[in-house]
Amino acid sequence: MTTPVIGVLALQGDVREHLAALEGAGAQARQVRRPEELAGVDGLVIPGGESTTISKLAVAFGLMEPLRARVAAGLPVYGSCAGMIMLADKILDPRSGQETVGGIDMIVRRNAFGRQNESFEAAVEMIGVEGGAVEGVFIRAPWVESTGARVEVLAEVDGHPVAVRQDGLLATSFHPELTGDHRVHRLFTAMVRDALVAGTGA
Ligand code: GLN
Could you report the per-residue pLDDT of 110-144, keeping only the tens digit for each? 999 987 668 999 999 999 999 999 999 999 999 99
Ligand 1 atom closest to residue 81's alpha carbon, by position in its atom list = 8
191/10 Cα distance (integer angstroms): 21
Which CATH number does the domain housing residue 65 bear?
Answer: 3.40.50.880
Output the pLDDT for position 130.
96
- 128, with CB counted inside 10 A (0-12, 13-18, 19+), is middle
95 Cα: distance to centroid of ligand 1 (angstroms): 12
The domain total for the chain is: 1
pLDDT tens-digit map of 64-117: 999 999 999 999 999 999 999 999 999 998 998 899 999 999 999 999 998 766
Active site residue 81: yes
Q: Which of 46, 85, 118 to mutate to test the pocket of ligand 1 (most atoms within 8 A of CB)?
A: 85
pLDDT tens-digit map of 13-70: 999 999 999 999 999 999 999 999 999 999 999 999 999 999 999 999 999 999 999 9
Provide the residue range defining the domain that includes 14: 5-198
Ligand 1 atom closest to residue 110's alpha carbon, by position in its atom list = 4
- 86, with CB counted inside 10 A (0-12, 13-18, 19+), is buried
